[in-house]
Amino acid sequence: MHVLLMLTYYRPHTSGLTIYAERLARGLARRGHQVTILTSHYRRNLPLVEELDGVRVVRSRVLFRISKGVIMPAIGFQAWKYVREADVVSLHLPQFDAAGAAFRGRLLRKPTVLTYHCDLKLPGGPFNWTVNQTVHVMNALAGLFTHRVVAYTQDFAEHSPYLRRFAGKLRIIPPPVELPNAGPSGAAAFARMHNPENKHPLIGMAARLASEKGVEVLLNAFPRILERYPDARILFAGQYRNVIGERAYARRLEPLIHRYEENGQWKFLGVLPPLHMAAFYPILDVLTVPSLNSTESFGLVQVEAMLNSVPCVASDLPGVRQPVLQTGMGEIAPIGDAEGLAEALLKVLDHRMIYLRPRAEIAARFSTERTVLEYEALFEELLES
């Protein structure tokens, strides 16, 4: 079948949503399906059309930005073309343009599936409030027009006002998780590069430097951890410079981060390719996901870490707490509570071995193959009906 995936940002942009879409697209292509990505030309040095890993990527020109969003005047015309070509349409929200694509899917009688990754919550202010409300309306219209709505977990679906509205269309599909095997030599080389003195413990965070990720909670929890583990270090993997819509947030955190950097207690690793991420996880003692709100709905990095025998500490957010609750590999921390995060991290660091589980047990729950097969079954079900 020919599947059209539509989302605002695609690779090389890095976020949980783009990684999810990339894994789904490549997995469908590997199974012999024709896959087209319709997304934004958010960076001028990217080609407007290219093929990546057997997937056709079409990028629509961006006229201007509104906060984290993009305005693409030609996206409507392109949506007509590519929805008409497709057998099935897969929309990935939050996305301003999804309503128009879902409406086209209805008119052209193309089965349309909406995957709701997370809520959109921009920083305060009247302008951002207006943007938020506009996107909420467009997301609601997309949900009305689409045939099925996919969520990662029942936990997130039950706590999401948006997903509760479309409970009759809901399908739960676990997210795709995959990671190459760096091997002992790869992890050892990575450790020599980023932890040459073999200081322990190593606390990892893998995210963008963005306000919803709760970086300041970890920063404020760190002094308590240093009281018990003076040699502790934090390794931050992910984009930390020029994150779209987050420059003011980065400037606010910069003084405290810089102080830890000077002391050798904090290190930015930048965006790591998959093989380097596979080497990053094994050198950690614990990974933390201290996210603050429903813009985070799961945290794929937790499962990636668990596959490398690394326990996790996650916020007590719907969906985000599920990897720990389902596997037992870690602790849950109160949302936005630095003291609570420190307590949970120390509990894991003090008794790390009791949180470990067999890799096969984790892989059986979460894999790209399982996700792709469930989407494929859903697409075929809709095509038949």
Identify the three-state secondary structure at position 92: strand
pLDDT tens-digit profile of 72-100? 889 989 999 999 999 999 999 988 888 89
Question: pLDDT tens across 217-234, in order?
Answer: 999 999 999 999 999 999
**Helix or strand holding residue 355 (H, E):** none
Q: What is the pLDDT of residue 121?
A: 64
Indicate if 183-365 has the same CATH topology as 2-176+367-384: yes
pLDDT at 329: 97
Q: So where are the chain's domains?
A: 2-176+367-384, 183-365
Return the pLDDT at 245: 78
Class of domain 183-365: alpha beta
Q: How many CB atoms sit inside 10 A of residue 43's CB? A: 11
Q: Would you tell me how many other CB atoms lie within 10 Å of the CB of residue 247? A: 12
Which residues touch 374 (CB under 8 Å, ≥6 apart)?
173, 174
For 2-176+367-384, CATH number?
A: 3.40.50.2000
pLDDT, position 127: 60
Those residues of the chain that have pLDDT short of 70 are 67, 120-129, 131-132
pTM given for the model: 0.84
Which residue, among 223, 262, 257, has the nearest Cα to 240 in the 3D structure? 257
- Between the alpha carbon of residue 233 and those of residues 116, 204, 229, 356, 370, the distances in Å are 35, 9, 9, 21, 35
| CA distance linking residue 272 with residue 265, whole number of Å | 20
